Amino acid sequence: MSRPIARVLTLLELLQAGGTRTVAELADRLGVDERTVRRYVDHLIDLDVPVESVRGRYGGYRLSPGYRMPPLMLNDDEALAVLLGLVAGRRAGLMTATGTASETAAAKIRRVLPERLGRRLDAVLEAVAFTTPPREPAPPDSTVLLAIADAVRHHRPLSIRYTAADGRRSERTLHPYGLVAHSGRWYVTGVDPAISEDRTFRLDRIADARPLPGAFDPPAGLDPAERVLTGLATAPYRYEVTLRVQATAEQIRTRLPAGVAIVAEPDAEHWSRVELRVERLDWLPAVLASLDRPFVIERPDELSDLVVEFADRLVRSARAGAAALSQRPGERAGEREVPFCLRLLGMQVRAK
């Protein structure tokens, strides 16, 4: 690609970034004089690119509102970033519920790429492996997502139609503070002005979101992500679990992240208090064992019983495996018993 053509395309990229660019700024970015910038602008106008001239002290050039980008011209790094972003976003549940929107977008980009670059990107996409998200993604409707995002940005109240987990439907007003994408799901957090309570809603359960007249002032220093994670960790469930773990909050978070558990800072003896609410207890013994730190179960008693049963099963399995291996000459049963089982049995497990 010749240098003048490359600079014209660079000029178009600068204008597509938005806002008004002065002639001096464009000349500096392109490495040419101001007269050449004006000539490049004329080239874009000849190509039916709607470049507007802005007069005045802060004048310059800008693109007309609503201008749609011409066929993509991406270098290798840009094309790879776009395609990987589309694939990763779809697998992580960050896309909307418009069916195959991300797939058709990726296909369109793939079609306009040079054959050489397309083959190289195909090789990357075929070779890369993505881990499964923690739960089945629940993408929201794109019109709902866009409406809520606009209301968050301009601090406007919303009317939403919501279906709760138990199937109950309701229509309510919400002052939305922020959008949060977590573990394959989208959430909006805000306040219900009718009852003056903080609320968090899943976007995939919102059937309609319409802006209402007026505006509101969100609280200063609000962190929507922290609010959503705290709400998930404190939501009512069948079991309320309280533990004390001799570990730092960072160590505990590797197995019990925010949104699953609330972890207090450790005391003088390095014990951290952990609280979580769950529908089932059967998955917790393995998680606690994987922490590989001493812990005390304060409640419920059922969890203590499950941890002891889990430890017994591990020991029986280890001994059975050792007994099978002991058939080899010179080996005795128990020589290959897994040390992990012994560590597990040494943990403090009691109900308060």
348 and 310: one domain?
A: yes
Check whether 72 has a pLDDT greater than 70: no
Strand partners, 45: none
* 211 and 241 housed in the same domain: no
pTM above 0.75, yes or no: no
Residue with tokens 């776009």: 82
- What type of residue sits at position 84? L
Say if residue 295's pLDDT is above 80: yes
Q: What per-residue confidence (pLDDT) applies to 348?
A: 45
pLDDT digits (tens, 9 = 90+) for 261-274: 889 988 888 999 99
Query: Could you tell me if residue 336 is inside a domain?
Result: yes
Please compute the mean of the pLDDT values over residues 161-171 and round it to a whole number: 86
Q: Mean pLDDT over residues 178-198, rounded?
A: 84
Identify the pLDDT of residue 318. 80
Question: What pLDDT, on a 0 to 100 scale, did the predictor assign at position 346?
Answer: 43
Bridge partner list, 97: none
Same domain, 332 and 280: yes
Q: What is the pLDDT of residues 118-159, one digit of tens each?
A: 777 776 666 666 555 555 666 778 788 888 888 998 999 999
Q: Is residue 298 part of a domain?
A: yes
CA nearest 68: which of 91, 89, 46, 50?
50
The CATH number of the domain holding residue 156 is 2.30.30.520
The pLDDT score that the predictor gives to residue 319 is: 81
Task: Answer whether residue 205 is part of any domain.
Answer: yes
Structure letter (DSSP) for residue 158? E
Same domain, 205 and 152: yes
Together in a domain, 246 and 333: yes
Distance CA 260, CA 276 (A): 6
The model's pLDDT over 205-215, given as tens digits with 9 standing for 90+, comes to 999 999 999 99
The total domain count for the chain is 4
Q: Report if residue 71 sits inside a domain.
A: no
pLDDT at 70 over 60: no
Do 203 and 302 reside in the same domain of the chain?
no
137 in a structural domain: no
Band of residue 339 on the pLDDT scale cut at 50, 70, 90 = very low
Closest C-alpha to 342, from 281, 283, 292: 292
| Distance, CA of 238 to CA of 131 (rounded, Å) | 30
Q: What residue numbers bound the domain in which 57 lies?
A: 3-63
pLDDT at 335 over 80: no
Sign of the CA dihedral running 201, 204, 210, 216:
positive
Do residues 312 and 245 share a domain?
yes
Say which range, 32-46, 182-196, 203-217, has the weakest mean pLDDT. 182-196
The Cα–Cα gap between 93 and 203 comes to 12
Q: Are residues 19 and 108 in the same domain?
A: no
Q: What percent of the chain has pLDDT over 90?
A: 18
